[in-house]
């Protein structure tokens, strides 16, 4: 499978919530840097271990495979990492900094910790993770009545993080679409962006045309 690289931009994209082999092909051809696999039963993007293994094995060299987990216990961590070839763990629950460190040690994989923002009062929470996580996902805090910790298609005021710097690499998420990602990058200075529902034709159904459009818009081409 040939990957299409897009030179000229330092912005890397992550397409999360893949469920079909055609999704992997679309993400690869669009030039994304990361593909995300969701292990959360409430999500329309949830995949089984055998399904995830097939998807991960279909990924070409250079496309990083990320497992999204929500407050996983050790048994689930062991099952996922023992079955699916992965490059990174994404923790999207209420994991403490101590738990992030434990997951890094147990799995031997880099860990990305998602932190939800709604207003300036949430910003200090980010600082708790920069010393223990390999990356931080700056996401929108889910609505109070949401059943999912992410993938809700909601955003936050990007001005909250405009000009801010963290010593740990970070990725921007939350309500991004092909129509707004270039503006989000411009306002925040993000060099990495993450999308799930923003490139779907229905919940959990990725659209290859939207994936391509998102990657093109993120790269500024």
Q: Which of 16, 23, 194, 215 is catalytic?
A: 16
Query: Measured between alpha carbons, how far is 57 from 18 in angstroms, rounded to an integer?
Result: 13
Distance (Å, whole) CA 33 – CA 13:
5
Task: Please give the domain boundaries of the chain with CATH numbers for all domains.
Answer: 12-218 (3.20.20.70)
Alpha-carbon 52 to chain mean position: 16
Looking at the whole model, is its pTM more than 0.85?
yes
Which is nearest to 4 in space by CA: 36, 21, 22, 28?
Answer: 28
Torsion angles phi and psi, residue 171, rounded to 5: -130, 140
pLDDT of amino acid 156: 79
Contact 97, 128 (CB under 8 A): yes
Q: Is 16 a catalytic residue?
A: yes
Catalytic residue among 23, 74, 139, 179: 139
Bridge partners of 88, per DSSP, are: 66
Distance CA 143, CA 152 (A): 8
* DSSP, residue by residue, the chain: ------TT---EEEEE---SHHHHHHHHHHT-SEEEEEE-TTSTTB--HHHHHHHHHHSPTT-EEEEEESS--HHHHHHHHHHS--SEEEE-SS--HHHHHHHHHHH-S-EEEEEEESSGGGHHHHHTTTTT-SEEEEEEPPPTT-SSSS-S-----GGGGTT---SS-EEE-SS--TTTHHHHHHHH--SEEEESGGGEEETTEE-HHHHHHHHHHHTT-
Q: Cα(208)–Cα(25) distance, rounded to whole angstroms?
A: 9
User: pLDDT tens string for the chain (221 positions)?
Assistant: 334 444 335 899 999 999 999 999 999 999 999 999 999 999 999 999 999 999 999 999 999 999 999 999 999 999 999 999 999 999 999 999 999 999 999 999 999 999 988 888 888 888 899 999 999 999 987 655 544 554 545 567 888 888 778 889 999 998 999 999 999 999 999 999 999 999 999 999 999 999 999 999 998 86
- Give catalytic status of residue 139 as yes or no: yes
Residue 144: its pLDDT value, please?
A: 56
């Amino acid at each position: 499978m040939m990957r299409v690289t897009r030179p000229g931009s330092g912005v890397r994209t992550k397409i999360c919530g893949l469920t079909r082999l055609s999704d992997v092909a679309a993400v690869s051809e669009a030039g994304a840097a990361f593909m995300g696999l969701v292990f959360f039963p409430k999500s329309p993007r949830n995949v089984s271990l055998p399904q995830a293994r097939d998807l991960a094995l279909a990924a070409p060299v250079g496309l990083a495979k990320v497992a999204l987990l929500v407050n996983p216990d050790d048994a689930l961590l062991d099952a996922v990492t023992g079955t699916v070839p992965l490059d990174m763990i994404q923790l999207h629950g209420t994991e403490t900094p101590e738990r992030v460190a434990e997951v890094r040690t147990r799995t031997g994989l880099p860990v990305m910790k998602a932190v939800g923002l709604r207003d300036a009062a949430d910003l200090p929470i980010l600082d708790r993770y920069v010393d223990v996580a390999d990356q931080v996902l700056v996401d929108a805090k889910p609505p109070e009545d949401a059943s999912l910790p992410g993938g809700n298609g909601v955003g936050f005021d990007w001005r909250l993080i405009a000009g801010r710097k963290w010593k740990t690499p970070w990725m921007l998420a939350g309500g991004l679409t092909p129509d707004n990602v270039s503006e989000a990058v411009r306002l925040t200075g993000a060099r990495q962006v993450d999308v799930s529902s923003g490139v779907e034709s229905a919940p959990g159904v990725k659209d290859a045309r939207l994936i391509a459009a998102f990657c093109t818009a993120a790269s500024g081409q």
